[in-house]
Amino acid sequence: MRQHKLALCKEHYLEWIPEQTARFIKKYEMFAHDEKILVAVSGGKDSLSLWHILIKLGYQADGLYLGLGIDEGINYSHESQRLTEEFAASHNLKLHIVDIEKEYGQPIPVIAERSHRGHGKPCAVCGLAKRHEMNRIARDLGYDVLATGHNLDDEAAVLFGNTLNWSSEYLLRQGPVLPGTAGLARKVKPLCRFYEREMTAYAIMSGIEYIYEECPFADGSQSIFYKESLNQLETARPGAKLIFYLNFLEAKKSGKLFLEKNVELANLHPCPRCGQPTSTPDQCSFCRMIEKTQSETG
Ligand code: AMP
Ligand code: FES
Ligand code: ZN
C-alpha cells in the first residue's frame, strides 16, 4: 500500500483491515455495539466484505439485498442474489430480500424506460430506487443504522463529480456519516477510506465469493470515467485520492468550505406518499417517478 508506505502478509492484512475499520467507526462516530445495523449487500466485494468485517468486530448486522431485475449479461441480478444468499447461509446471518418488481410491479430497466429519465440508461433511476428502498426498509424494520459498502474510489469519484459541478448541496451531504432524521436511519460508509484494490484483496484473502462483473449498464458511465481519471492521478501521485477525500472532510468539518451550512437540510419536508424527507415540492422524486410509470401502464 504505497499511500501508507506499508506492506503486510496475508495474516496481518486480514487483521489490519478490520482494525482500521473499527478505528474509522469510532473516529466518525458511526454506531455503537448496542445498535442494530442493516448492511446493504449487492453481492459485490465491498458490501460482502463490509458484512464480514462487521460480524468479525462483533456488531449486530443483518443484510438487505435489493432485487433490481437486471437480467442482462450473465443475468446480473440473479447471480448477485445467489452469491449474497450463499454468503448469508454459510455465515448463519439474517438476510432480507426485497424485489423491486414485486414491490412496484416493474423491474428497474422498465421503470427507467417508462419514466424517460437518464437518457436511455437505467443507472440514475436505479440509484434513486436503491436509496429510497434502503431508507424505507431500514425505517420499517426499525434499524438504527444503514451501512453501505462505498469505498474510497467510489467516494473520491462522487466528490470529483460534485466538485466539477460545484454541487454545494451534494457536497454538504457527502461524508462517512449522514445523521438520521425523523423517518430516516443514520447512513454510514465504514469502508470509505479503503482503496478499491484493498477491498478486492480483503475479499480474495478471506475466501469471499463475490460477483466479479460490474453491472452491465455501468460501462461508459460518468462515474467510471471519473474513477479512471483519478486512477491516472493516483499513479503519478500515490495517495492523491486519499488526500483529496480526507482534506475535503477536514475543510468541511472546520466550516471553511460553506457558509450557508444546513440551508438545504432545513428545507426538507416529509413526502406525502412515503413519508421520507425530501426537498422537492410535494412528493419525493422516487414517488413521482413511480406514479408516472404506473399511470403509463394503465
Ligand atoms: P453501487 O451503487 O452499485 O456503487 O453500490 C454502492 C453500495 O450500495 C454497495 O456497496 C452496497 O452497499 C449497496 N448496494 C448496491 N446495490 C445493491 C443491491 N442490489 N442491494 C443492496 N444493496 C446494494
Ligand atoms: Fe443499477 Fe447498474 S443500473 S446497478
Ligand atoms: Zn415519496
| 140 Cα–ligand 3 center, Å | 14
Q: For cell 442482462, what's the residue?
A: 72
Query: Letter for the amino acid at 1?
Result: M
**For 87-145, what is each residue's pLDDT tens digit?**
999 999 999 999 999 999 999 999 999 998 877 789 999 999 999 999 999 999 999 99
Of the chain, the percentage scoring pLDDT greater than 70 comes to 96
- Give the model's confidence band at 264: pLDDT under 50 very low, under 70 low, under 90 confident, else very high: low
pLDDT for residue 298 is more than 80: no
Ligand nearest to the CA of 151: 1
pLDDT for residue 40 is more than 60: yes
Closest CA to 217 of 102, 100, 77: 77
For residue 39 the three cell numbers come to 448492511
Pairing of strands 36-40, 177-178: unpaired
- Any domain includes 286: no
Q: Are the C-beta atoms of 147 and 50 separated by less than 8 Å?
A: yes
Rounded to whole angstroms, how far apart are CA atoms 31 and 206? 24
Beta strands in 70-154 (DSSP E): 95-99, 145-147
Average pLDDT, the chain: 93
Rounded to whole angstroms, how far apart are CA atoms 183 and 275? 7
Q: In what order do the strands lie in the sheet containing 177-178?
A: 95-99, 60-67, 36-40, 145-147, 186-188, 177-178
Q: Are the C-beta atoms of 129 and 217 separated by less than 8 Å?
A: no
Q: Are the C-beta atoms of 198 and 1 separated by less than 8 Å?
A: yes
Q: Ligand 1 pocket, 42 CB below 6 A?
A: yes
**Ligand 2, pocket-test mutation among 46, 66, 80, 108, most atoms within 8 A of CB:** 108
Ligand nearest to the CA of 123: 2
User: What are the beta bridge partners of residue 187?
Assistant: 146, 178
**For 227-254, what is each residue's pLDDT tens digit?**
999 999 999 999 999 999 999 999 998 8
Closest CA to 61 of 149, 154, 179, 155: 149
Q: For cell 451501512, what's the residue?
A: 147
The CATH number linked to 196 is: 3.40.50.620
- Any domain includes 272: no
Closest CA to 121 of 238, 227, 222: 222
Ligand nearest to the CA of 221: 2
The predicted pLDDT at position 265 comes to: 58
R_g over Cα of the chain: 19
Rounded to whole angstroms, how far apart are CA atoms 293 and 17? 43
- Any domain includes 279: no
- Give the model's confidence band at 279: pLDDT under 50 very low, under 70 low, under 90 confident, else very high: confident
**For 65-78, what is each residue's pLDDT tens digit?**
999 999 888 899 99
Note down the domain range covering 31: 2-261
- Any domain includes 71: yes
Number of structural domains the chain divides into: 1
Q: What is the mean pLDDT of residues 145-157?
A: 98
For residue 22 the three cell numbers come to 473499527
Predicted TM-score of the model (pTM): 0.92
- Give the model's confidence band at 280: pLDDT under 50 very low, under 70 low, under 90 confident, else very high: confident
Q: For cell 464480514, what's the residue?
A: 52
Ligand 2 pocket, Cβ-based, cut-off 6 angstroms: 68, 122-123, 126, 215, 217-218
Q: Are the C-beta atoms of 96 and 62 separated by less than 8 Å?
A: yes
Q: Ligand 1 pocket, 122 CB below 6 A?
A: no
Q: Ligand 1 pocket, 135 CB below 6 A?
A: no
- Any domain includes 280: no
- Any domain includes 292: no
